[in-house]
């Protein structure tokens, strides 16, 4: 999945995961595979704008954010081409190449292909401080760079391949957790509304052996202690937590958040893509307001059926007992799940994870 901020003015350095400096964003955690000589964008993504933006800003400097995962599937796993591959291959990582080469086949992207006639392949040729998850507390890494974009280069032997040099100067990195049924990092459903220090608050600086833990600065967004929303500034954009009677009962992902679930689902994914990432059938329901033009897909971690509604009594029970993660597994009252809200055009627009509070349609109401 690829994203783009608007504008390109360099902003002051920030350690948050919010795209306040309007960087170009390359999300390389999914749909990227490796071969012996390069990494490849494997999907016919609708949004190829970040590549177009970098191409248009040749011979200039832009702020760039890159998100990476700690493993990269082999090309054969995603290509599923029996004429070329005997099996799915062995997963690798970004350390496969010191200076990664990220390529795409232009025939899959007509908008970009029209700008590079007689060219079959475009590769971003990274150099400098390219960083990736290695020894980090979480599986994903957010990295912010100043990127110096060169001009198109072609080899005399491979004139149909165009390389676009991208020299990276690292500003900061941050380890990024994935959302489970109950937890985001070390903050979990059942925690008090002022959670313990956790891995999401660790600012890991490149070329430094020290890890600094920031003081807690939880921000109240709406509501009160009976029911409301809060977030930590170190959380990624669009990530909030619902609390009830002083305890966290649900995590919400919305807007343009880069947060992914443990299964790899993110905002914008189609309903079919969500279903493909789960072995067990998901509970499917029609959208409260969109009807047949949208819906809800819910995966429960500890029970086979789905509670149909969420009452105030349930809310009182869950906020009191939801920290008992290991007791009464499989019972309705301790159910934990992830709910994907989608519409047929935009795909997933919201993700809820937590106890039965994920069934609430309008937040605390």
Q: Which pair of structure tokens corresponds to residue 224?
A: 């009160």
Q: What pLDDT shows up at residue 37? A: 87
Residues 237 and 340 reside in one and the same domain: yes
* Mean pLDDT over each residue of the chain, to the nearest integer: 80
Rounded CA-CA distance 29/22 in Å is 20
- Within-domain flag for 364: no
Where is the domain boundary, 176, 198, 214?
Answer: 176
192 and 140 fall within a common domain: no
C-beta of residue 93 within 8 angstroms of C-beta of residue 32: no
Same domain? For 297 and 252 the reply is yes
Sign of CA dihedral 301, 305, 306, 311: negative
The closest of 296, 232, 207, 250 to 241, measured between CA atoms, is 250
Statement to judge: residues 83 and 217 lie in one domain: no
Quote the pLDDT of residue 157.
77
CA gap 301, 353 in Å, rounded: 11
- 365 within a domain of the structure (yes/no): no
Does residue 236 fall inside a structural domain? yes
| Structural domains counted in the chain | 2
Same domain for 170 and 192, yes or no, is no
158-165: average pLDDT? 90
203 shares its domain with 322: yes
* Mean pLDDT across 266-283: 91
pLDDT digits (tens, 9 = 90+) for 193-213: 654 433 333 333 333 333 333
Residue 312 has pLDDT above 70, yes or no: no
Q: Are residues 224 and 338 in the same domain?
A: yes
d(CA 128, CA 132): 13
Query: Do the beta carbons of residue 365 and residue 229 sit within 8 Å?
Result: no
Do 130 and 42 share a structural domain?
Answer: yes
Residues 219 and 292 in one domain: yes
Structural domain for 35, as ranges: 2-176
Q: Please give the model's pTM, rounded to 2 decimal places.
A: 0.76
Whether residues 209 and 160 share a domain: the answer is no
Residue 68 structure tokens? 């990476």
Q: Burial letters for 317-356: b for 16+ Cβ neighbours within 10 Å, e otherwise?
A: ebbeebbeeeeeeeeeebbbbbbbbbeeeebbbbbbbbbb
Domain C-terminal end among 176, 209, 229? 176
At residue 84, the pLDDT reads 84
Cβ contact 357:307 at 8 Å:
no
> Does residue 40 come out as left (phi exceeding 0), alpha (psi in the -120 to 50 range) or beta?
beta
Residue 252's H or E segment, with its range, is strand 247-253
Which residues lie below 8 Å from residue 14, measured CB to CB, with a gap of 6+?
20, 21, 144
User: Which has the higher per-residue pLDDT, 355 or 331?
Assistant: 355
Within a domain: residue 230? yes
16: β partners: none
**Residue 324, pLDDT above cutoff 70:** no
Kind plus residue range of the DSSP H or E element containing 312? helix 312-321
pLDDT value of position 49: 83
Q: Residue 344, SS3? A: coil
Reported as a single tens digit per residue, the pLDDT across 79-106 is: 878 888 888 899 999 998 889 999 999 9
Same domain assignment for residues 269 and 289: yes
137 plus 12 within the same structural domain: yes
**Virtual torsion, Cα 268, 270, 271, 277, nearest 10 deg:** -90
Whether 281 maps to a domain, the answer reads: yes
C-alpha torsion sign, points 218, 268, 143, 25: negative
Contact 162, 121 (CB under 8 A): yes
**Could you tell me if residue 15 is inside a domain?**
yes
The last residue of a domain, from among 121, 144, 176? 176
In the predicted model, what is the mean pLDDT of residues 299-308? 58
């Amino acid at each position: 999945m690829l994203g783009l901020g608007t504008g390109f003015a360099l902003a002051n350095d920030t350690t948050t995961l919010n795209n306040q400096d309007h960087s170009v964003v390359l999300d390389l955690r999914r749909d990227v595979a490796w071969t012996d000589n390069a990494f490849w964008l494997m999907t016919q993504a609708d949004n190829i704008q970040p590549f177009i933006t970098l191409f248009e800003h040749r011979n200039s400097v832009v702020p760039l954010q890159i998100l990476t995962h700690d493993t990269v599937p082999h090309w054969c796993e995603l290509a599923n081409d029996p004429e070329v591959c005997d099996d799915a291959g062995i997963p690798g990582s970004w350390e496969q190449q010191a200076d990664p080469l990220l390529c795409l086949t232009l025939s899959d992207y007509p908008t970009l292909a029209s700008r590079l006639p007689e060219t079959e392949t475009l590769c971003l040729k990274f150099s400098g401080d390219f960083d990736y998850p290695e020894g980090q507390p979480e599986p994903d890494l957010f990295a912010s760079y100043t990127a110096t974009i060169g001009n198109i280069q072609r080899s005399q032997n491979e004139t149909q391949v165009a390389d676009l040099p991208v020299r990276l100067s690292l500003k900061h990195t941050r380890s990024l957790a994935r959302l489970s049924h109950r937890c985001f990092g070390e903050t979990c459903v059942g925690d008090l509304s002022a959670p313990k220090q956790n891995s999401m608050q660790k600012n890991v600086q490149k070329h430094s052996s020290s890890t600094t833990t920031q003081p807690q600065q939880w921000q109240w967004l709406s509501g009160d202690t009976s029911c409301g929303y809060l977030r930590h500034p170190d959380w990624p954009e669009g990530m909030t937590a619902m609390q009830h009677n002083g305890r966290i009962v649900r995590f919400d992902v919305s807007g343009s958040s880069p947060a992914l679930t443990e299964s790899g689902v993110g905002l914008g994914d189609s309903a079919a893509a969500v279903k493909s990432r789960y072995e067990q059938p998901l509970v499917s329901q029609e959208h409260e307001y969109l009807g047949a033009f949208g819906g809800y897909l819910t995966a429960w971690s500890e029970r086979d059926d789905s509670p149909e509604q969420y009452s105030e009594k349930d809310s009182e029970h869950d906020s009191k007992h939801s920290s008992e993660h290991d007791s009464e597994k499989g019972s309705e009252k301790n159910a934990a799940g992830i709910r994907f809200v989608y519409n047929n055009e935009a795909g997933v627009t919201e993700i809820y994870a937590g106890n039965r509070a994920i069934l609430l349609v309008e937040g605390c109401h």
